[in-house]
Each structure stands twice: as C-alpha cells, then as structure tokens.
Amino acid sequence: MKRRTFILSAVVGAAAAAVGPQAAGATVLGDGQAGATGLVPMLPGRGPYSHVSTLDELQTAIGQMTRGGTIIVADGTYAVPDGSPINLSGAGGRWNKSLVIMAQTVGGVTFTGAESFRFDNTHDLVLSGFVFTQSTTLEIPANCQSITLQRNDFHLADIEGLHCVMVRADNTVVEYNHFHGKSTLGVFLGVEGGGSTEMAENVHIHHNYFSDHLFAGANGGEPIRLGVSPRALSSAHAVVEYNLFERTNGDPEAISVKSSDNTIRFNTIRDSGGGIVLRHGNRTRVESNHIIRGLRGVRIYGNDHVIVNNYIGETADTAFVLGAGTLRDHFEGEPADSRRKNDAADRVRIALNTVVGNAGGIHCETHRPLEPHDCAIVDNIFQGDSGILTSVAASQGFTYEGNILWGAATDGDVPAAGMTRVDPRLEKDAADVWRIGRTSPAVNAAAQNHSAWVRDDIDGRRRIGAADVGAHEVSVIPARRAPLTTDDVGPHAR
C-alpha cells in the first residue's frame, strides 16, 4: 500500500510534467482515452484524470468527478479568496475508488489565505501532497466519511488557540504528513466527533512527523489529542502508529488520549517535553513505543489498559506514573465537572518494558485521595543511577513479579518477592537505545506467560517460549521495527 502510493505520486507527477502546459487545463480524460490537449498515461483503477492549474478549474473538476478519479493540481502557489474556499460539499468517489486531489509533485502546491478546502458531506476523498498555510483550522466534520490526508505539510499561521487539523469523521486516515512550526496555544491534530460526547471511530494516524511545537504554556499544545473529557467513555478504536515526535514541547502530553479503546504503538518520541498520557478513558493499548530523552514517559489514568514492550530512556521525569484519582471511575451521565476529574488507574498491566536512566522508574501518585487498584507490574527492567526506581506504596491489590532492578538508584518500595537485583548487562546501540545481549540474565527469565497479551518484542521479533524480561527479545531473527527517523515519516518518506 505504501509503495503503491509513492509510485502513484511519482508517476503521476512525472506524467504531468511531461505533457506540460498542454495539460494545464481542466480537461477530464476517460479511462484509457486520449484527451484533446494531450495524452495522460493510464494508471489502473485511478482514472479518469484531470489536470488543473487554477482554482476555478479545480472546483469544476471536483464537481465533474462523481465516481472517483484523480485531479492533479499544477505546481504553484494558489491564493484562496477569503470567504470562497475550495468547496468539497458532497464531493467524493466510491467506496472502492476514491476521488484523489493531489499536487503535481509532493510539496509543489501551496495554498494561502484564511481557508483552503471546506468539507461537508464529503466521502471517499484523498488530499495529497499540498502545503497548508491557512489561518483557520482544517475541519473534517462528522457528516463526512473515509477522508484521507496524505503527504501534506501543515505549517499554519501561528495564531493563539488555532488547531491545525480537527477530525470528527469516521474512517479518517492521516498519513505521511508533517505538522510543524507552532509557538502558541493549539494542537497539531485533534480527533473528536459529532455532538458533545461521541468520538470519530476507526481513525488511523500513521507515519506522520510532528516537530517543533514550542508553546511555553502549561498545557494546550498537544501534537495529537485523541478526544476531550466529555468524550472519555466513547470508544474511538483509533490506531496511532509509526509517528515520529521531535521537539514537541507544547504540552506534557505528546499523545493525549481522552477516549476509550485505542491503540498507541510503534511511535518514537525523541527530545520532547511530552510523553504518552492516558488522561481519560479505558482499555487503551500502549505497545512498542520508544521514548528517548526528553522530559516525560507514560502517565496513566482509567481502567484496563495494557502497557507492554515500551522503551523509555533518559527522561527527566519518572518513566511510568500510575495516577491517583479524585473519583474511582467515570460513568455515563456524570456532570461535566465530574468528568474533568482524574479517575484512578485500575487493572492496568505494565509488562515487558525497559526503563533506563530516567529520574524514576515507576511511581503511584499520592496527591489525590483514591489510589490505583489491582495493577500488574510484571517482567520489566528498571535501571538507573539516580532517584528511586519504584515508589508504589500508595496502591492497593498490586501484583509484582519478575522485575529486574539495577543501578545506583534506590530500589524503592516494590516488594522483594516481585523483583530481582541483578545487572541486566544492557548495551547501548546506535539509536541510543539500551538493550539486553545474549549474556544478560534477562534472557528467557520472564516469570509469566505473556502470550495472551503480546507475541513479539518492541523490534517485531517473535517471543518464543519463555520471554526475555524487558522490551527486547534476544534473537537471530532480523528486526522488523526500530526507532523512527525522519527518513521513515512525513511527506517524502519512501
């Protein structure tokens, strides 16, 4: 899929350049037909094709393409008039053939003005390869369906309170984009829903690059905000994966989850002020993420989350924070002021994680009255040379088993039966990740069978038999994943 998308972009861009000015008009070419103004090669399943070079031509082509196809916008800068955005009302393709509106070359088309595209009852539509600089939020309302934002650059006007993109529509895909350059209050990418309590469902956010959010306030500058407190109990079933965050300092929460039933996996947060925070909601899975340097790790509220296979290294805060609450659980129909409160972390499983060189390993909050209950802390590596590795006394009904503790840091208060003090013999690799080697006592040392929760390690290597303690499995099998770099994400990633 990713390779096909890239090849399509390259070939269509080359075709547009090859036919040059002759194909600049809004001529629509049928499947396999030659148009009066030039020949555009057929790409199976994506025709008809239309080349446009003005906003009027683009609007006309959108109205003509009712059964899917591809509109190619000639490279250049397009000033969108105030009050007259590009209208996508009712526009779209079919469930098996989207309407694709794409730049001639990735990053070659810039839209200026207060707005660019306006969505309304839009469906099965892809926007690809554009540079957005507008001074209003790009909104995808709840009456839309199956919208894809692909290989775009979002560098909007740096206005206080302006969110870059707000998704409210089911089955939205946000892939291979770059969100960057903000110093004021406002999120890069928000996901909400219709009404006041619903969430957009099945949103897929992957291979995006979030960088340089420099807002200096206490909160309100999240790169990704998945819900807000009134929507906490709504099941979003969102997947946030393979995204890279660098210098995202606008909020303590780089990925802020305020909804239920989501998956946060395979992301890399590097040199950033924000971590992964399950602020509201239940049953979210946080798996195989890298948090390298920066300030914060993973903070957890709510019930029945699974936190597995993560690496947290060299942050200035405690790696895992289990939240205390001012109420035990959120509930349907609760008052708004209650929904905004913190609910204690209950029945959370924290297993097979590697925590190295942070200010602390794992901590249960103590500044609210309701302590976390019935969590499992199993087969993790906690290593550090300063601070306290475990501070978990403010809890009830916790299970501890198979954890390895090491370093000059104080062990803390984890029960002796749930830990072993032994050198895991970690070795630092080229990506600044500390991992076990073949001689590590962590090899095949897991105290529990984890197959009901996870089958591979952070690098995608299969865990066979007794698992190795921590995020990494020693194996001759090649890694399928690694900490992300800018080559892996954003508009120009292969």
User: Which H or E run includes 59?
Assistant: helix 55-64
pLDDT band at 66 (very low <50, low <70, confident <90, very high): very high
Whether the pLDDT of residue 34 is over 60: the answer is no
Q: Average pLDDT in the 303-318 region? A: 98
Closest CA to 356 of 393, 429, 407: 407
- Please report, for residues 88, 90, 91, 119, the alpha-carbon distance to residue 63 in angstroms, rounded to integers and kept in the order given: 9, 9, 7, 14
* pLDDT (0 to 100) of residue 435: 98
Cα(184)–Cα(207) distance, integer angstroms? 24
Whether the pLDDT of residue 456 is over 50: the answer is yes
pLDDT band at 356 (very low <50, low <70, confident <90, very high): very high
Interacting residues of 272 by C-beta distance below 8 A, sequence separation 6+: 245, 246, 247, 248, 249, 254, 294, 295
Q: 394-423 b/e with 16+ CB inside 10 Å = b?
A: bbeebebbbbbbbbebebbebeeebbbeee
* pLDDT (0 to 100) of residue 150: 97
The two structure tokens encoding residue 465: 């038999």
pLDDT band at 218 (very low <50, low <70, confident <90, very high): confident
* pLDDT (0 to 100) of residue 185: 97
Q: Are 340 and 296 in contact (CB under 8 A)?
A: no
pLDDT band at 217 (very low <50, low <70, confident <90, very high): confident
The amino acid at residue 14 is A
Q: Average pLDDT in the 299-306 region? A: 99
Q: 33-47 b/e with 16+ CB inside 10 Å = b?
A: eebebbebebeeebb
Query: What is the DSSP pairing of strand 130-132 with strand 426-428?
Result: unpaired
pLDDT tens digits for range 183-216? 999 999 999 999 999 999 999 999 999 999 999 9
Residue 67 — φ and ψ, nearest 5°? Answer: -125, 25
User: Is 335 buried (19+), middle (13-18) or exposed (0-12) by CB count in 10 A?
Assistant: exposed
Who wins on pLDDT, 38 or 430? Answer: 430
Cα(113)–Cα(177) distance, integer angstroms? 20
Whether the pLDDT of residue 4 is over 80: the answer is no
Closest CA to 73 of 47, 41, 49, 40: 49
CATH number of 2-417: 2.160.20.10
Cα(58)–Cα(46) distance, integer angstroms? 17
Who wins on pLDDT, 453 or 27? Answer: 453
Task: Give bridge partners of residue 28 from the DSSP assignment.
Answer: 50
* pLDDT (0 to 100) of residue 46: 78
Task: Look at 9-18, 50-59, 71-80 and tell me which has the smallest mean pLDDT.
Answer: 9-18
pLDDT band at 64 (very low <50, low <70, confident <90, very high): very high
Whether the pLDDT of residue 40 is over 70: the answer is no
User: Which H or E run includes 347?
Assistant: none
* pLDDT (0 to 100) of residue 494: 86
Q: Are 271 and 246 in contact (CB under 8 A)?
A: yes
Q: What percent of the chain has pLDDT over 70?
A: 91
pLDDT tens digits for range 124-174? 999 999 999 999 999 999 999 999 999 999 999 999 999 999 999 999 999
Q: What is the mean pLDDT of the chain?
A: 92
pTM: 0.91
* pLDDT (0 to 100) of residue 5: 39
